[in-house]
Chain A
Amino acid sequence: MKPWILHIALIAVLATAPLWLSPYHATNLARIMVLAVFAMGYNLAFGYTGLLSLGHALLLAAGMYAAGLPAQLWGWAAGPAFIAGIAGGGLIAAALGLLALRTAGVSFMIVTLMFAQAGYLTLLYFAHVTGGEDGFAVVSSGRVLLGSDLSTDTPRFLAALTIFAIGLLASLALVRSPFGRTMVAMRENEERSRMLGYNPFTVKLAALTLSGLYAGAAGAAYALLFGYVGASFATIQYSILPMLYVLMGGAGTTLGPFLGALLMFALIEAATVLTTAHQFIVGAALVVLILFAPKGILGTIRERWLRWLP
């Protein structure tokens, strides 16, 4: 019961944020929540199932383009476009998994990285449709959901909060379910799982596909809420970011992705004020974290104090 109360309390606090945050910061928080959904998906694959992917940018971009292109080309509204984005992320993740999950460990990292890079180059190659490096601004007719304009502050925040809340509660339910336990079994001891009757390939494929649904939802939300679709989201940077969020917040904790995204975002904001070399500060923070709290913030808290933390 305690975990559910904690997660719902977090969502409730976030829901009040527009009341005590400036519109600028509330919009940033909406952005953080969307990125946190991406990181939650990454966490399902990496934190729980032990799949260290370097290709999640491909899945984010798949969701982004699967939502943005129909809106742009065929005038889809935000609702159907968003669903198309989720499906796009899941489909590409399943296809990626069918090929990449024949490998494991370092090979898996390299193969996922290569597929993501191939995806990025494909987006550039078809620049007349995708907009290439410059991308395109999503038409305003595609950013209307149930009569609300998602480009305005309140609907945008509420939409981001809703997606975040559903993603968070679904991931909590998932990791506490029997399937969540099976995912962790893959991370901990794949050989033993096989002797208990599990097919590691299908379990990992399912976990990666779920992860892709999250990435697709995040990509689609990003396109529809912030109005921009571009190939830069398919670059390696967007594969590394969710990993950093998860490592900072705590891999294999349900709240870690949000905490990591929030802190990393704040850190970059603060660093940008101080110096143009803000990437250096981010790097230094990560080195300190890996040295002194390799399990991330919530991973360390769970180990030391709160054993019940999911």
Chain B
Amino acid sequence: MAPLIQTRGLTRHFGGLKAVDGVDFTLTQGEIHGLIGPNGAGKTTFVSLLSGRLPAQSGTISLNGEDITRLPAHHRARKGIAYTFQITSVFPRLSVFDNVALAVQSQGTRDLTARTRAALVRVGLDGLEEQEAQTLSYGHQRLLEVAMGLALHPRLLILDEPTQGLAASEIEGFKSLVRSLVPETTVLLIEHNMEVVMDLATRITVLTFGRVLATGTPAEIRANPHVQEAYLGA
């Protein structure tokens, strides 16, 4: 399979802090790729570089072989990189419908209502269309984030800690939702819930101190002594 995303020597420092420090990373088309690591390992910074929220200091990012390192965030979004925020960032004073419609209409306004409803049904928020987003429970706001990401029909969907704040019952539904996205959409999943990552991901990359510690299948990652030492604490 061709790589969808490839980074070479990707680097971003904040003063003396090496948040992302020379990361070589490959994302294969159609996989669910888990990104794990201790707090402060640089996971969110790394995906912010991918999505263009932060500019890279050095190194390159390519999407389907095309260099996108210098492309502004909104161009990357249009090229199919969707980012769902770790700290929920919906439009709080707009309705649930308007939140998702904004994502849908950036792809064109034909069948806007139907496509918006379809995205809401997919995450199970149908029936809440008219509610103001800020009045939703935290878990529902997380799902709204995901619906907005899905509505972009992305080639790459970056989910930054999507199950945070979800009830155990909601997590099951969420897992089957993510599984239903591949292989049309490639998923990059930052997740602290190990059970969810090990269950969903086809491959996992472990970051520590802004560097890649290991990449492999869930079984390989579990068995890797360095990972156990640095992160899993076993």
Residue numbers in B under 8 Å from A181 (CB-CB): 94, 98, 101-102, 105
A194 to B94, CA, bound (A): 17
A147 within 8 Å of B by Cβ?
Answer: no
Name the one of B78, B89, B94, B109 contacting A197, with C-beta atoms under 8 angstroms: B78
- Knowing A192-B85, A192-B90, say if A185 contacts B73 (CB, 8 Å): no
Q: Which A-chain residue is minimally distant from B93 (CB atoms)? A: A188
Name the one of A195, A197, A198 contacting B53, with C-beta atoms under 8 angstroms: A195
Name the one of A178, A185, A189, A194 contacting B74, with C-beta atoms under 8 angstroms: A194
- Is the CB–CB distance between A198 and B106 below 8 Å? yes
A53 CB to closest chain B CB (Å) equals 22
Residue numbers in A under 8 Å from B77 (CB-CB): 194-197
B112 within 8 Å of A by Cβ?
Answer: yes
B185 within 8 Å of A by Cβ?
Answer: no
A182 to B102, CA, bound (A): 7
Q: Which B-chain residue is minimally distant from A177 (CB atoms)? A: B109
- Is the CB–CB distance between B74 and A199 below 8 Å? yes
- Encoded as 1 (CB less than 8 Å from any A CB) or 0, chain B from 87 to 108 comes to 0011111100010011101110
B51 within 8 Å of A by Cβ?
Answer: yes
- Is the CB–CB distance between B51 and A195 below 8 Å? yes
A184 within 8 Å of B by Cβ?
Answer: yes
Name the one of A178, A192, A194, A200 contacting B91, with C-beta atoms under 8 angstroms: A192
B227 within 8 Å of A by Cβ?
Answer: no
Name the one of B83, B105, B107, B109 contacting A195, with C-beta atoms under 8 angstroms: B83
A295 CB to closest chain B CB (Å) equals 11
A136 to B185, CA, bound (A): 65
- Is the CB–CB distance between B98 and A195 below 8 Å? no
A28 within 8 Å of B by Cβ?
Answer: no
Within 8 A of A (CB), among B102-141: 102-103, 105-107, 109, 112
Residue numbers in A under 8 Å from B94 (CB-CB): 181, 184-185, 188
- Is the CB–CB distance between A178 and B89 below 8 Å? no
Residue numbers in B under 8 Å from A178 (CB-CB): 101, 105, 109, 112
A24 to B85, CA, bound (A): 58
B73 CB to closest chain A CB (Å) equals 5
- Encoded as 1 (CB less than 8 Å from any B CB) or 0, chain A from 184 to 226 comes to 1100110111111111100000000000000000000000000
B152 within 8 Å of A by Cβ?
Answer: yes
- Knowing A188-B91, A189-B89, say if A196 contacts B152 (CB, 8 Å): yes
A110 to B36, CA, bound (A): 46
- Is the CB–CB distance between A182 and B83 below 8 Å? no
Residue numbers in A under 8 Å from B106 (CB-CB): 196-198
Chain A interface, >50% SS class: helix
Residue numbers in B under 8 Å from A192 (CB-CB): 85, 89-91
Q: Which B-chain residue is minimally distant from A191 (CB atoms)? A: B89
Residue numbers in A under 8 Å from B98 (CB-CB): 181, 184
- Knowing A192-B85, A197-B74, say if A182 contacts B91 (CB, 8 Å): no
- Encoded as 1 (CB less than 8 Å from any B CB) or 0, chain A from 5 to 18 comes to 00000000000000
B148 within 8 Å of A by Cβ?
Answer: yes
Residue numbers in A under 8 Å from B90 (CB-CB): 189, 192
Within 8 A of A (CB), among B163-216: none
A71 CB to closest chain B CB (Å) equals 40
A294 CB to closest chain B CB (Å) equals 14
A197 to B153, CA, bound (A): 12
A190 CB to closest chain B CB (Å) equals 10
Q: Which A-chain residue is minimally distant from B84 (CB atoms)? A: A195
Residue numbers in B under 8 Å from A194 (CB-CB): 72-74, 77
B88 CB to closest chain A CB (Å) equals 10
- Is the CB–CB distance between B91 and A198 below 8 Å? no
Residue numbers in A under 8 Å from B73 (CB-CB): 194-195
- Is the CB–CB distance between A196 and B102 below 8 Å? yes
A305 CB to closest chain B CB (Å) equals 16
A178 to B73, CA, bound (A): 21
- Is the CB–CB distance between A198 and B74 below 8 Å? yes
A48 CB to closest chain B CB (Å) equals 12
* Residues of B near any A CB (own CB < 8 A): 51, 53, 72-74, 77-78, 82-83, 85, 89-94, 98, 101-103, 105-107, 109, 112, 148, 152
19 further A-B pairs in the complex, CB-CB below 8 A; given A194-B74, A197-B77: A178-B105, A181-B101, A184-B94, A184-B98, A185-B91, A185-B94, A185-B102, A188-B91, A189-B92, A191-B53, A191-B89, A192-B90, A194-B72, A194-B73, A195-B73, A195-B74, A197-B78, A197-B107, A200-B74
Give 30 A-B contacts (CB < 8 Å), ordered by A residue: A178-B101, A178-B105, A178-B109, A181-B101, A181-B102, A181-B105, A182-B105, A184-B94, A188-B91, A188-B94, A189-B89, A189-B91, A192-B85, A193-B102, A194-B72, A194-B74, A194-B77, A195-B51, A195-B53, A195-B74, A195-B77, A195-B83, A196-B102, A196-B106, A196-B148, A197-B77, A197-B106, A197-B107, A197-B152, A200-B74
